[in-house]
Structure 1
Amino acid sequence: MAKSLKRLMDTLKESKDVKEDLLISRINMAVVGDRGDEKVSFINALHGLGPGDEGSALSPPNTDPDLLAVYPNPKHPDFRLWDLPPVPTTSPVAPQAYMDQVKFLRYNAVFMTFTESPQPNSVAVFLEARSLQRETVYFTLLASENDTENSLEDKRNASLGILKAEGVALPKIYLVRPSALEKLDFPVLLEDICRDLPEIRVNALLQALPTLTSTLVSQKRDSFKAQVWAAASLSGGVSAIPVPLVSSMVDASVGVRILNKARTSLCLDDDSVERLARQRGVDPATLKALRTSDLSAEVTKAGVKKRLKKAAAAEKDLASASSKLVAMAMPQAAGAGRSFTAMLQALNGAIDEMASDAEKIVAAAIGEEK
């Protein structure tokens, strides 16, 4: 009995640790450049915020121009955006001195922003970062309100010439309109960031960004399904404990956490839908009516337990070959494979439902704007 109790306590502690690892992943991104309206709008857009929203950056900023400013995401506190002061332009600057001042190397990715052309000292900092094997630094040309696509292309071409003259091999500049990140080059920039970052940071970034496009919704869905796989593996191990109800309690707890985080990430809560409607000039009721899954409105433990129970019953009735294979891979207990596949099916189905609602909302919001 004592051994069983100790095993129970050890497994529950392990499940808690694994659950935290599954659901918590921090990412820090920095934005370098003049603290103008475009930079402030870009920072807010990355958080899905508009002027006046809680947690939004202010224009003009209420911070010392030479100091760092940090903006945690109100709904994703593990995603922090840092507003870095511009690289000094009045005289030659020691790149390493600036990088030490702003703690450059602690950021997972850095946007080197400008609205006209990159300054030579900024290029020197970029080259120093590359010499230190930091690939996740990106020149980002922020569109001003009066910029057209033609004027932006002219600025890009002129800026590429500057980068080449300063010694940047194969320079790349991304055109970004902060008020509409789904347009111009931001989707390409996001693809490149996801290619350059470790997978755990990619998942943290994807889950924290607002739902800008249907492609991003699909990426969020896949990211959460990867978490579900890991959680289901945990479920299969916990089900081996010879104590009634332990597995179901862990499954429901982990399921609620994952689905709540997925709901927030997919911007399905009332605040996010209303904010999107306000930003895009759409009737909020129109967007809310597109939430057809009960989970899009609210995630409850009772609802998650019901889905897990239904999936478990279906799995037991089907006695599928897949569950037999999983059981063979997890020989600790006869119910382990069944617990794994039941949780996998229940949570993946739930995430598919929420992602479908998010895709409809994004399509309606962007479509209305067009």
Structure 2
Amino acid sequence: MADVFRGLNLLETLKESIENNKLSDVKDAVEDLLISRINLAVVGDRGDEKASFMNSLRGLGPGDEGAVPSPSPVAPEEVAGYPSPKHPDFRLWDLPPVPTMSPFEPEGYMDRVKFFRYSAVFMAFTQTPQLNSAEVFLEARSLQRQIVYFVLLASVKDTEKSLEDKKKTSLNMLISHGLTQPKVYLVRPSTLEKFDFPDLLADLSNNLPEIRAHSLLLALPTLTSTLVTQKKEAFKALVWAAASLSGGVSAIPVPLVASMVDSSVAVRILTKAQLSLCLDDESVERLARQRGAEPAQLKGMRTCVLSVDVTKGEVKKRLAAAEKDLAAASSKLLEMAMPRHARSASRSFAAMLQALNGAIDEMAADAEKIVTVALGGGK
């Protein structure tokens, strides 16, 4: 189903599926977003910078459980996988460096590491990319697989001037090797919000099928306030889809859809939101350690009860309160928001939409406060 979403706005696509009575497609999209199946691979020498980069993508520090160790215990030619501790279907793969031998056949290396099974591949380096890495990039492009990105990892010894020189040298090398308008993204592994990582994430999101781009967005740690906002909007699309299933099930019975239409769906969505926004105790404590903030201070910023703990009792209470409030809502406004086939079941649609959107807003506001303080050094 993922290819259906390439280049399209997720919410608009979901609405189109609902209007065409393709409820099973919407259910699949909801499941895809909740499961977050995504695989990213990082090619390059196994050193501190690469390990730190892979850990930061999963919200981990070097001493955290499940972190990529440095030096790596993995054999030089082996591939190692590292799942996200909070999103086990989001996995980082540590690929060995591209061989420097000449002549070099990129197909052999790509087959050996199963290059095209990954959603995207980062060709990471700390000086300049290897010539054979450019060959791998060109081979991927010739096969119309735009999933490869050159990433210059900054070390603790690098200065702003040395990084500028490395990036310029790398671009010139890639151009001389036949790449037209190449991009090199400068990334500081320990603080991904710096330098070019936001641009890398934006380009990656544009190149991935949209359902996969949203899955990646939900699995990444809350690195910036912008990511918090993007996560909130993605969850609101997910809420709309779930509410549409809830509102439409009585009008158009579809196998397997009925099992989703109860408070357990809301619990799943809000639990995913809590983990995605890094609001659970473990994520907040980890963020505090990484950024030198006080854990108790960050935890105290969670004013929404669902930010602290998502319980079925709290979710049911919110759904019941939303349904009670519907009598005061404008039926005309509700009709404009809901899909045509669900209007006969408007109460169910509107209650879930109102309750979950309100919860997402509250949780995102908490995440925004935490990120702002943590990135400000705890001030």
Q: Tell me the TM-score normalized by structure 2.
A: 0.88
Contact map agreement 1:27 1:205 (CA 8 A) in 2: yes
Query: Counterpart in 2 of 1:352?
Result: 361
Cα offsets for 1:277-315 (capped at 9, x unmatched)? 000011101101110111101111111111111111111
SS at match of 1:368: coil
Deviation at 1:369, TM superposition (A): 6.1
Deviation at 1:136, TM superposition (A): 1.7
Query: Counterpart in 2 of 1:177?
Result: 188
Residue 294, structure 1, aligned to residue 305, structure 2: yes
Change (3 A) 1:295 1:100: same
SS at match of 2:321: helix
Change (3 A) 1:175 1:369: farther
Query: Counterpart in 1 of 2:351?
Result: 342
Change (3 A) 1:89 1:14: closer
Contact map agreement 1:323 1:338 (CA 8 A) in 2: no
Deviation at 1:51, TM superposition (A): 1.2
* Stretches of structure 2 lacking an aligned partner (at least 5 in a row): 1-23
**CA distance in structure 2 between the aligned counterparts of 1:139 and 1:170, rounded to whole angstroms:** 12
Residue 281, structure 1, aligned to residue 292, structure 2: yes
Query: Counterpart in 2 of 1:3?
Result: none
Query: Counterpart in 2 of 1:112?
Result: 123
Which of residues 356, 367, 370 is equivalent to 1:361? Answer: 370
Deviation at 1:18, TM superposition (A): 7.1
Query: Which amino acid in structure 2 is aligned with residue 262 of structure 1?
Result: A
SS at match of 1:330: helix
Query: Counterpart in 1 of 2:320?
Result: 309
Query: Which amino acid in structure 1 is aligned with residue 290 of structure 2?
Result: Q
Query: Counterpart in 1 of 2:57?
Result: 46
Structure with greater contact order relative to length (CA < 8 Å, sep ≥ 6): 2
Report the more deviating stretch, 316-325 or 353-362: 316-325
Deviation at 1:22, TM superposition (A): 4.7
**CA distance in structure 1 between the aligned counterparts of 2:143 and 2:100, rounded to whole angstroms:** 22
Query: Counterpart in 1 of 2:78?
Result: 67
Query: Which amino acid in structure 1 is aligned with residue 358 of structure 2?
Result: G
Which structure has the larger Rg over C-alpha atoms? 1
Residue 55, structure 1, aligned to residue 66, structure 2: yes
Contact map agreement 2:32 2:211 (CA 8 A) in 1: no
Query: Which amino acid in structure 1 is aligned with residue 186 of structure 2?
Result: L
Residue 129, structure 1, aligned to residue 121, structure 2: no
Query: Which amino acid in structure 1 is aligned with residue 226 of structure 2?
Result: T
Deviation at 1:341, TM superposition (A): 1.5
Contact map agreement 1:235 1:251 (CA 8 A) in 2: yes
Query: Which amino acid in structure 2 is aligned with residue 367 of structure 1?
Result: G
Query: Counterpart in 1 of 2:220?
Result: 209
**CA distance in structure 1 between the aligned counterparts of 2:26 and 2:134, rounded to whole angstroms:** 47
Which of residues 146, 150, 154 is equivalent to 1:143? Answer: 154
Contact map agreement 2:291 2:374 (CA 8 A) in 1: yes
**CA distance in structure 2 between the aligned counterparts of 1:208 and 1:327, rounded to whole angstroms:** 28
**CA distance in structure 1 between the aligned counterparts of 2:117 and 2:36, rounded to whole angstroms:** 15
**CA distance in structure 2 between the aligned counterparts of 1:263 and 1:59, rounded to whole angstroms:** 30
Change (3 A) 1:72 1:327: closer
Query: Which amino acid in structure 1 is aligned with residue 117 of structure 2?
Result: R
- Any residues of structure 2 matched to 1:259-274 within 5 Å, and which? 259-274=270-285
**CA distance in structure 2 between the aligned counterparts of 1:325 and 1:167, rounded to whole angstroms:** 53
Deviation at 1:224, TM superposition (A): 0.9
Q: Percent identity?
A: 66
Query: Which amino acid in structure 2 is aligned with residue 349 of structure 1?
Result: G
Deviation at 1:231, TM superposition (A): 0.2
Change (3 A) 1:354 1:160: same
**CA distance in structure 2 between the aligned counterparts of 1:17 and 1:104, rounded to whole angstroms:** 26
Query: Counterpart in 2 of 1:193?
Result: 204
Contact map agreement 1:182 1:212 (CA 8 A) in 2: yes
Report the more deviating stretch, 305-314 or 96-105: 305-314
**CA distance in structure 2 between the aligned counterparts of 1:185 and 1:206, rounded to whole angstroms:** 17
Deviation at 1:326, TM superposition (A): 5.8
Query: Counterpart in 2 of 1:83?
Result: 94
Deviation at 1:318, TM superposition (A): 2.4
Report the more deviating stretch, 310-319 or 182-191: 310-319
Residue 318, structure 1, aligned to residue 329, structure 2: yes
Deviation at 1:327, TM superposition (A): 6.9
Contact map agreement 2:60 2:67 (CA 8 A) in 1: yes
SS at match of 2:150: strand
**CA distance in structure 1 between the aligned counterparts of 2:121 and 2:26, rounded to whole angstroms:** 35
**CA distance in structure 1 between the aligned counterparts of 2:68 and 2:207, rounded to whole angstroms:** 27
